[in-house]
A and B are shown apart, each in its own frame.
Chain A
């Protein structure tokens, strides 16, 4: 292949490096109004009055909006498809506030400064209700009003037959996960432009599903879908936080009300306090093994906290059960899950969508099993990983080619597994302060949400008169270069130079319907549609060329960006000539359309190795060395693929060792990066990455599998296991902060 598999800079690298890339927050429209929010300062209660008089007295303030002076606009932040029947549980402006950070009012003013200053002057009166901030309080239902149940959802899933063998070795791993902040560099932003004469609303925002935003906002405002246009803007990271609609409904409601363009930009504190977090989970996982290390059963007892609104949490918990079966052969699996709702930030989509969470539980169990069985952790995994030809027992979908085994073997060799573990032991024996540990973790994910739901994607293309190609696909680049990857996929299929292919991102007015870029389906599903469309455009070019050359398409072939003939070596028609001929003589634009309906979801896994050094005196953990080996099928843009994996390792080390949104006794969540300790580059070694590329998918473009989310799944488990290995401990509370490590050592020694 000419382009695919060769590293190229991403499409907006230059714009981002020079600061000229245009984000939604950089947009400015004539007569634009700036909106600032007023958030609930109490965790649970009723808003009894909103006094905006002082705010309205500030020069340049156009309006103060709240539940007492606006229609009762309600929506579901998680809804992204027309067919999803989810309760409209969340109002644009709450009357019953459910967490510190719930939206109470919005102030519109001539500029951001004025809006924010005025918002601080809005006086809100509350009638407080009892609140639940912990699992225990939520389970007790202290925050339930009459008729409300404490447990919002409860279900059991069983896959396979319970093991009957005697003498199984049983381990139980208790894992508790704290709340995570996505920490995308770009905050949440929406620019809404309402044309009252045409009754048309245009929303610009960095989001993961333009059609999802369109559906939710149009339904909320009772507008026809074709009058609401949503344009995806350049995104500075999402990690799932822009998969749920929080700023868009607000900006849309205010813009329609004011009949002028509106810009809403959250700052870091507001994003942390009000948008969404990865929710807390408490898990007890019991795993049974045969004496030789073969896994017999996995049973999970899980308690999950949806936070203030249910949003996606019921679905999230269901996918978690599915993700349990994406890495190891599990003959019998059972999960009992309960969902509660506390008065804390809303739990929601986070990179990996439960794969990283279930991996933390599974790998914690695997570590305990390796000790109980006295087996090497790599050997124990080798015995149990899914193999080519296996079937996902939960979904029934073939795993196809999978290379977890190769990842383990290659990684163990490159990371000097056995030798390094011996070196750690020697180091620990001669050191009274520092302890080193080396560990491995594997985790799997998907490439689409098929077969939980049907999945498909469409693409359209046209060739311009000069032989260049314009592509219409609904992509939502998160900042990782989806645009460049699609250019490469299309240019490869059309045998065109990269710069001859152009595509813009999703725009409901122009690009085909799409569910959105989540579930790691961007390349695997939408990319496949683009590849098929390019192939079909290629056929159209050949047909037109054949007409001009008075031959049949099968006698023609591509060489460079030209059509050549098998019969006459002198023939060389440029794309431009073919395009002109088609337009001028055939009266037909060279266009193509293609659709790809998904009927596969191959196994895709990552295997990460981490070596850490724990300072047992301060509790600080340093990551000394790190290697991520990934079964990616075919990488489209290898350096970007590796960079995504490196970022995932960084994020995972932070999730395992430091990062947590803590809730104060008054319900205030951590809302500053000075108190939310992101893992930064200074504290990490160079993350080594190795791509295994011979386990190709049948249906992904050029054999590609997903990478964006699966890369994050094994990272925190590897770092966490390395700490437990270093201390000989069984810490299950994630993150393993310095405080928790010292507390553990004070109690248990090391």
Chain B
């Protein structure tokens, strides 16, 4: 028989985290975990539910930073960030996860901490250099760059009794940047990414790209930047015709012939977002 913890405040959360062992599980939106509990007959010694802590659901956007509680659902992330040019990629990614039902339950913290190679939010969090704020046993806090969250084997680097409580994106460095995310799945909606592509461009008034950042997801166990693609874009306008050349940058990054061939399509789709 396992214990359930259902903290209502951050303090209670800190106390509950102290009780967890290596056999405990943390429940966020449950869109992955509940299925796994059922199919694998997991029997954790304790289950910690994060749903009762209102602080974890807070989204605060100021000119200085975006602070997104780990329990913010995909639907709310999409709603809160849609239309903010620098953060648009995050709105895109959250708005494209699964179905409306999944987006109403699934959370940004769960998506990132679950660390599936095909997850949509991690490449965007990498692109925007988000920091993950972590709470540990007793409420101890530490902050790491999101790049340090996954362990490279579809798991995370969190220690026993640690949980991501929020993501913070510093906005001043993104001033003037526009970002976007597109994915390629087996269909247009309710689909798992075969390629996820996050891009941010800093453009001159005439559209010329002064600086570019590109991160790909769903190709390797963790997202990775594509500096070769960034080089191609710098100094040019983001002409959709560049897609063919950009697609070539996937060569050597994937063993899947399909993904290598289809990359140019995803690049063109994302370039069209910057027209």
Contact = CB atoms under 8 A, between A and B. Distances in A.
Given A120-B41, A658-B186, 9 more contacts: A617-B243, A617-B262, A618-B184, A618-B266, A682-B187, A682-B190, A738-B186, A738-B262, A746-B257
A170 interface: no
A615 interface: yes
Contact of B268 (A617, A677, A738, A743): A617
Contact of A677 (B38, B184, B186): B186
A433 interface: yes
Contacts, number: 55
Given A615-B265, A617-B268, A680 B41 contact: no
B275 interface: no
Contacts of B190: 680, 682
B254 to A, nearest CB: 13
B165 interface: no
Contacts of B157: none
Given A117-B41, A433-B268, A618-B184, A682 B189 contact: yes
B188 interface: yes
22 contacts: A116-B38, A120-B41, A269-B39, A617-B262, A617-B264, A617-B268, A618-B265, A619-B261, A619-B262, A620-B184, A620-B187, A622-B188, A658-B186, A658-B187, A677-B187, A677-B191, A680-B190, A682-B187, A683-B188, A738-B186, A742-B257, A746-B261
Contacts of A683: 187-189
A674 interface: yes
A618 B38 CA distance: 35
A413 interface: no
A746 B190 CA distance: 28
Contacts of B268: 433, 617
The dominant DSSP class at the B interface is helix
A619 B258 contact: yes
B263 to A, nearest CB: 9
B258 A742 contact: yes
B186 A742 contact: no
Contacts of B258: 619, 738-739, 742-743
Contacts of A617: 243, 261-262, 264-265, 268
Question: B188, B265, B268: which has the most chain A beta carbons within 10 Å?
Answer: B265
A674 B262 contact: no
A143 to B, nearest CB: 29
A116 B268 CA distance: 47
A116 B38 CA distance: 9
A729 to B, nearest CB: 16
Contact of B41 (A116, A658, A742): A116
B192 interface: yes
Given A619-B258, A746-B261, A679 B266 contact: no
Interface in B171-205: 184, 186-192
Contacts of A682: 187-190
Contacts of B243: 617
Contacts of A622: 188
A617 B192 CA distance: 19
A683 B186 CA distance: 11
Given A116-B41, A117-B41, A120-B41, A618 B262 contact: yes
Interface in B35-57: 38-39, 41
Nearest to A617: B265
Interface string A605-617: 0000000000101
Contacts of A117: 41
B61 to A, nearest CB: 29
A192 B191 CA distance: 38
Interface residues of B, number: 20
Nearest to A118: B41
Interface in A104-118: 116-117
A617 B182 CA distance: 15
Interface string B236-275: 0000000100000000000001100110111010000000
Interface string B5-40: 000000000000000000000000000000000110
Contacts of A619: 258, 261-262
B188 to A, nearest CB: 5
B234 to A, nearest CB: 23
A615 B258 CA distance: 13
A120 to B, nearest CB: 5
Nearest to A117: B41
Contacts of A615: 265
A117 B37 CA distance: 11
Question: B187, B189, B262, B264: which has the most chain A beta carbons within 10 Å?
Answer: B187
B47 to A, nearest CB: 15
Contacts of B39: 269
A88 B57 CA distance: 60
A746 B264 CA distance: 14
Contacts of B184: 618, 620
Nearest to B190: A680
A269 B192 CA distance: 18
B42 to A, nearest CB: 10
A11 to B, nearest CB: 28
A231 B103 CA distance: 40
A653 to B, nearest CB: 11
Given A117-B41, A738-B258, A433 B265 contact: yes
Nearest to B186: A677
B20 to A, nearest CB: 23
9 closest Cβ contacts across the A-B interface?
A617-B265, A618-B265, A677-B186, A682-B189, A618-B262, A739-B258, A117-B41, A742-B261, A120-B41
A738 B187 CA distance: 10
A198 B35 CA distance: 42
Nearest to B262: A618
Question: A120, A619, A679, A739: which has the most chain B beta carbons within 10 Å?
Answer: A739
Interface in A344-393: none
Interface in B213-248: 243
Contacts of B266: 618
Contacts of A677: 186-187, 191
Interface in A425-475: 433
Given A433-B268, A618-B265, A679 B187 contact: yes
A278 to B, nearest CB: 19
B192 A742 contact: no
A456 B157 CA distance: 68
B262 A742 contact: yes
A462 B39 CA distance: 50
Interface in A666-712: 674, 677, 679-680, 682-683
Contacts of B265: 433, 615, 617-618
Interface string A292-315: 000000000000000000000000
Nearest to A673: B190
A6 to B, nearest CB: 35
Question: B38, B191, B261, B264: which has the most chain A beta carbons within 10 Å?
Answer: B261
Contacts of B38: 116
A682 B268 CA distance: 22
Contacts of B191: 677
A738 B261 CA distance: 11
B59 to A, nearest CB: 27
Nearest to A618: B265
Contacts of A746: 257, 261
A618 B258 CA distance: 8
Contacts of B41: 116-117, 120
Nearest to A740: B258
B245 to A, nearest CB: 13
A658 B188 CA distance: 12
Interface string A600-638: 000000000000000101111010000000000000000
A120 B37 CA distance: 13
A269 B186 CA distance: 20
A241 B252 CA distance: 44
Question: B184, B243, B266: which has the most chain A beta carbons within 10 Å?
Answer: B184
A120 B43 CA distance: 13
A677 B192 CA distance: 10
